[in-house]
A and B are shown apart, each in its own frame.
Chain A
Amino acid sequence: METIELKINGRKRTLHCLPNATLVEVLRDQLHLTGTHIGCDTTQCGACTIHVDGDAVKACTVLAVRSDGSEITTIEGLAENEASHPMQKAFKACHGLQCGFCTPGMIMSAVDLVNKGCAVDPAAIREGLSGNICRCTGYQNIVAAVLQGASEMQEQSS
C-alpha cells in the first residue's frame, strides 16, 4: 500500500492505495465519488474526465500514486455551495443529456474547454469534445449547452 495526499473538491484527504490503483478507482471505491464514471478501458470514452491541477484528465489512465499532492475537482465538487455550476445549468436547460452516464465527464471536459478558451464556436466545441463519447444525444444539444454554459461562465467571471 502506498500513502498519498490529495486535495479533492477543496478537502485534503490522506489515502492508502495499491501502487497499481487508478485514480478513478480510488475516487469511486474509496471516496464514493461515484459521479465519475468508467465507460471503457482504452481512454477513449471520456466518462471519467475530472480536473487535476486545473486540467481535464481521464482518470482511468492516471495511477493514483502519480496524483500525489494534486488538487482534484470532480463533478461533485464543480459547483460551489450546493448551487449548480453554469455548465450544469446549461446542460439541463438545453437537454444536453439523456441517460446521464457520459454527462459528468462531458461537463468536466466542457468546463475545461471554456477555461482554455477553446469553446469559441460550434465547430471548435465539436472538435474539443471528440474525446468524450455520448451514445444518446447525437451531440447537438451538448454543443448548444456548451455554448450557453460558456457564455454564462464568461458573464460570471467578467
Chain B
Amino acid sequence: MSGSLIGKSVLRKEDHRFVSGKGRYTDDIQLVGLTYAAFVRSPYARADIKSFDVSDALAAPGVIAVLTGEEVAKDGLGGLPCGWMIHSKDGSEMRQPHHPVLAADRVNYLGEPVALVIADTQLEAKNAAELVMVDFEPLTAVVNPATASQAETLYEAVPNNLCYEWELGDEAATEAGLAAAAHVTTLKLTNNRLIPNAIEPRAALAEYNSGTDEIILHTTSQNPHLVRLIMTAFVQIAPEHKLRVIAPDVGGGFGSKIFIYSEETALAWAAKKLGLTIKWTADRSESFLTDAHGRDHVSEAQLALSADGEFLALKVKTVANMGAYLSTFASAVPTYLYGTLLAGQYRTPAIYVEVDSVFTNTAPVDAYRGAGRPEATYLVERIVEKAAAEMGLDPAELRRRNFIGRDQFPYQTPVALEYDTGDYEASLHKALKMADYNTFSARQAEAEARGKLRGIGLSCYIEACGLAPSQVAGALGAGVGLWESGEVRVNPTGSVTVLTGSHSHGQGHETTFAQLVADRLGLPIEDVEVVHGDTGKLDFGLGTYGSRSLAVGGSALSVAADKVVEKGRKIAAHLLRTDVDNIDFDAPVFKMIDSNESKTFQEIAFAAYVNHDYPSEELEPGLAEKAFYDPLNFTYPAGTHICEVEIDPDTGVVEIIQFVAVDDFGTIINPMIVEGQVHGGLAQGIGQALLEQAVYDDTGQLITGSYMDYCMPRADNFPDFKVGMTCTPCTHNPVGAKGCGEAGAIGSPPAVMNAITQALGGIEIDMPATSEKVWRAVQTMPALKTA
C-alpha cells in the first residue's frame, strides 16, 4: 500500500468545518467571564509622551482597568526582541532600539500602542479608549528610507538611523568583472511596500487561572511555541511551564502572524496582572497600522556582460526599511534571505551586495510571503531582461546562456549558498511552450492593429526554502535552531495521531501530513489525524514560514514514522518468536521473511499498549515516536514564470492576457494543494506588481489604511493561471520536497513588470503599475499607429 497516497490530489480533511461555518478562529472563542480590550494608539508617527490621564476612562461605563506604558515599565517587562543578529561590514553588531510592549515616553510610528482599556464589552472598551488622555508632543518624523540615513537621528544609540551596513560577496572580483565587461546594464528600482492583509485580523484571548497560576493564550500565530518562548524568556511574563499558547484555526498569515507583537503580549500580561480573561480582536484599521509590513527596498544594480552575453559580475546596493523597530525576523530579510539569492539561476562568477538597513517612523517591516527572495528575484530578473533588450538578445536565450547546467550540481554560488539540485532549462522550456512564446510577435502585431500594446515578460526565479539548517542559520546569526519536531502517536487500536510543530493556516497540513504518514504506514488516510498549534500538546516546534512545513516538518514526521516501523518490527519479532532481522514491514503488515506468518499494524499497536505478552525488560511499551529533523541544507525551489499583458494606451489599464507558472518543488505529496498554493502566491505577486502599495505621507500618516485606499486583488483582476510542474527531488531530505508556499509571490512580479516594460517600449516604471502610472508612461511614447 506504501506509495499509494503520495502524489494524489486527496481532498482536504479540514474543509468540512470551514465550509460549514464550524471553523474555530480566535475571535470565535467565547468563555465565561470574558472581558474585552481596546488599545489606545499614537495618532502621530513620532512624538514624546508628556503624561497619561486615565481618570475619565476609568470612570466610563463597564471599564475594569486601564494599563499604560508606564505600568509596563514599572512591571519591568522586557522588550520585543529580534531573533537574528546581523553584523555590519566593520564587524559591529546591528543596532536594536528597545521595542516596548506599550510605549511609555516616546512613540515611533503611527498606531503604536500606548495603553489598553479593559471593559465588560467590546464597545465599552473602545469607547473608553477614546477617553484616555495622552499628552503627546509631536516630533518631526523620518519617513523616506532612501534619505533616512541623512535625516534626524531617531534613537540615541543608532547613529544615522542605520541598523546595520551589511555586505556579502567579493567586491574586488565584482569590480574587476565590471571593468572587463563589454556591456554594463544598470537599473534602479523600488520594491514597493506591502501590507500582508490576512483576511482574519490578528486576535488574542488570554485566560488566567489563579488557582494554577497558568496563562492560556489563544492567538493568531504561525508559530505558537515561538510566541511562548519569547514571552517567557525575553518579555518575562510568566515561566514557560505556566504559559500555554494555542493557535487554533488561523485565517491566513503570509508571514504577518509569525511575529511577536505588542497586543498579544500585553493581553497575556494584563490577564495575569488583573486575574481576568480578556479578548482583543484587531479591526482592519489596526491591521493596516500594526501588522508588520513587507518589502520596501530601494536598490541600484549593475550587471556586467561579455560581448556574447555571458554574465561576468553583479553589483547591488540596497537600502531596506526596517520601520520603527526591529520586528522578530526583520534583520534577516534583506540580508540572508536576499543577498544570498542574487545569483538567481545563473553562473554569475562575481557578486557583491551592500545593504543598508534604516529605521523610519513607519510600522515595523518584516517577512511577507517570500521575504527577501522576491526582492532578490525582482532585481535579478528585471536587470537580466533589461540587459537582453539592450544587447538585442532574446531574453530566454540570454538566460539559457547563463543557466547553471543540470550537470553542475551541487553548485556553490559566490553568495554563500550551495544549490543541491535543479533543472532550469527544463522549466524554461516547458513554460515557453505553455505560453506559445514563439508566436508572441504575431499576437503583438494583432494587438497593435487594434491600437493596443502587448508585452511578454519572463522571470526565472530561485528561492532558498526549508528554513533552516540550524548550524548554517546559527553561523548566520539566528537566535534559535530551525529544525522541526514531530510525533507519530499510534493509538492502541491502530489509528494514528500525528503531532507537528508546523502550523497550518491555509496550507492544508491536516491532509498533506496525514497523506505522508498514512502512506508510510499503509493506513487509510481517515485513520490519521493531524494535531498542531498547541504548546500544551506538542513539546516544541518552530512553526510555519519560509515554505518549510513539508521539507522540514514533513521530514520530521517521515523520520518519526520510520521509528514507529522499526519499533513495530521489534514487537512483531517478539510476537512471532523470531529475530527482528527476519521481520519485513510491507505496509501495513509486519511479515516474517522466511515464513508466511505476519502481524497486522493494528495487532502490533494493540500489543504495544495492552498485551500481557510483551518483552518489557528489553522494549518499552507504547508505540509513539518523536523526531527532530534538522535539515542539512536549504531547499531550492525554482522555475520560470511568463506573463503576457495588453495595455490600453487610452486608459493605461493593464490586462493580464495569460500567466504561465512552471515550478520545480521536488517531490509533491498533493498536487491539488500545491497548485492552490501557486495560485495564491501568484495573486499576491501580481497584486504587488499591479495594485498594492502602502503609502505614508511626509508626516508618517498612513494614507492607505483601509480597503478603500489599499487596492486588494479581487476575483476580476485575474485570468485563470496556467500552472505546470517539473521535478528534481530535493537531495537531502527524506521526503524530497522543496516547498511551494512562496514561489508564486517570488516569481511573478518581475514577469509582470518585464511584460509591461516591453509593451511600453522599454520605459521603466515602478510597481505597482497602476493605470495612472502606465497612462503617463504611454504619453511619453512615440505615437501609436492605430488601425
Contact = CB atoms under 8 A, between A and B. Distances in A.
Contact of A100 (B18, B712, B716): B18
Given A41-B284, A130-B716, A136-B252, A104 B21 contact: yes
A84 interface: yes
Interface residues of A, number: 56
Contact of B21 (A34, A42, A99): A34
B715 A95 contact: no
B308 interface: no
A95 B676 contact: yes
Contacts of A136: 199, 252, 506, 676, 680
Given A36-B21, A88-B19, A139 B683 contact: yes
Contact of A126 (B23, B506, B716): B716
A92 B15 contact: yes
B631 to A, nearest CB: 25
A107 B679 contact: no
A101 B252 contact: yes
Nearest to A107: B19
A120 interface: no
Nearest to B15: A92
A68 interface: no
A91 B20 CA distance: 11
The winner among A34, A75, A76, A132 for most chain B CB atoms within 10 A is A34
A37 interface: yes
A137 B21 contact: no
A97 interface: yes
A33 interface: yes
Given A99-B251, A135-B197, A136-B680, A76 B21 contact: yes
Interface stretch (B24-32, B110-118, B578-586, B778-786): B24-32
A101 B718 contact: no
Interface stretch (A51-59, A140-148, A150-158): A140-148
B470 interface: no
Contact of A35 (B22, B27, B200, B707): B22
B505 interface: yes
Interface residues of B, number: 58
Given A36-B21, A42-B708, A129-B715, A101 B199 contact: yes
A82 to B, nearest CB: 9
B123 interface: yes
Contact of A98 (B21, B197, B283, B680): B680
A33 B20 CA distance: 11
B201 interface: yes
Contacts of B224: none
B25 A101 contact: yes
A113 to B, nearest CB: 11
Contacts of A140: 679, 718, 720-721
B236 interface: no
B505 A99 contact: yes
Contacts of A41: 283-285, 706
B682 interface: yes
A151 B521 CA distance: 39
B279 to A, nearest CB: 11
Interface in B171-215: 197-201
Given A44-B707, A92-B19, A141-B679, A39 B200 contact: yes
B673 interface: yes
A53 B281 CA distance: 30
Interface string B233-267: 00000000000000001111010000000000000
B123 A133 contact: no
Given A38-B27, A98-B676, A133 B15 contact: no
B11 interface: yes
B19 A40 contact: no
A52 B708 CA distance: 25
Interface in B365-393: none
B692 to A, nearest CB: 11
B27 A138 contact: no
Interface in B706-736: 706-708, 712, 714-716, 718, 720-721
Given A122-B720, A139-B714, 4 more contacts: A39-B199, A99-B250, A101-B199, A138-B721
List 7 A-B pairs, minimum CB-CB distance, nearest first.
Answer: A35-B21, A101-B251, A100-B18, A99-B506, A138-B679, A44-B707, A98-B506
24 contacts: A18-B123, A33-B21, A38-B27, A39-B200, A42-B708, A47-B199, A75-B21, A79-B20, A88-B20, A98-B676, A101-B199, A103-B23, A125-B715, A127-B716, A129-B714, A129-B715, A133-B714, A135-B680, A138-B680, A138-B682, A139-B715, A140-B679, A140-B721, A143-B715
